[in-house]
Structure 1
Amino acid sequence: EAQAKAAEEAARLAAEAQQAALAAQTAAISTEELKLLANIIYCEAGSESYIGKVAVGNVIMNRVKSASQPNTITEVVYAKGQFSPVRNGSLQRALSSDKADAACYQAAIEALAGAQPVGGKLFFRRNNGRSGQVIGHHVFY
């Protein structure tokens, strides 16, 4: 019984440490930017697999880090002509009621933490035969 309690306590402490590490990594951005990232992921990849959601977040974070792109999530998402949900109003509708689900938020957190299922790619679009890395209905290039 003592062994089981010790193992349970160790697991609890490990889970708390992992949550603290994630919180520290995401603390560099505001709550509003996390919400924006999760909701653009929802708009662009809400019906895609989890890895497809992380891939969209990966592209956005690659742009933030790129010298040739804006350097904040907000600037990247709202850059002229870049994301159709911005142009067609679906992002604003999603943000107004925070439609992003737990998977979209988790994908955003993973992308912020450095997950790179599409490496250094800066763009994606509907898979229409363009060459690149295909995940679900998107091609990343």
Structure 2
Amino acid sequence: MKKFILLSVTAISLLSALSISVNASETFETKVESNNTAIGGWSEDEGTFSNILETRAAKATVKHSGKAEYKNAGPNQEKRSHGWTTWSGVYHYTTAQMQSLTGKVLSTSGRKWGTSGTEAISPYVWVGEIPGSAPAKTFYGK
């Protein structure tokens, strides 16, 4: 019985650690998409990510990219998020957001729905001269 309990606790610990390390971006994905329908996206500080439940067929047919765009310079610098998704024949959305370092949404494009290709652009937010103070993030889903 002791061996069984020890084995169970060890297995649960390993599975918990594995699920966290496999896709750490799911944490902010869940914060942003309240109904957990986001399949993947792009983050300025973490790069491209996808939900671990996404199928290989979906990965092969969907293309998603995002970038941060700037205007002005120095203390008046502003920044926005810009995302694109191409998913031929699939009704889907793209969302572009600017977030604080704590994950609070500072500006959002909202979900931009369409078939085949979608584009989303968040409103600009003031970031001043502090690099990385507001990461740009984009998401897609269906």
- More helix per residue: 1
Structure with a larger share of its residues in strand: 2
TM interval, shorter chain, is: 0.3 to 0.5
| Structure index of larger Rg | 2
Ranked by relative contact order (alpha carbons within 8 Å, sequence separation 6 or more), the top structure is 1
TM-score, length of structure 1 as denominator length = 0.34
TM-score with structure 2 length normalisation?
0.34
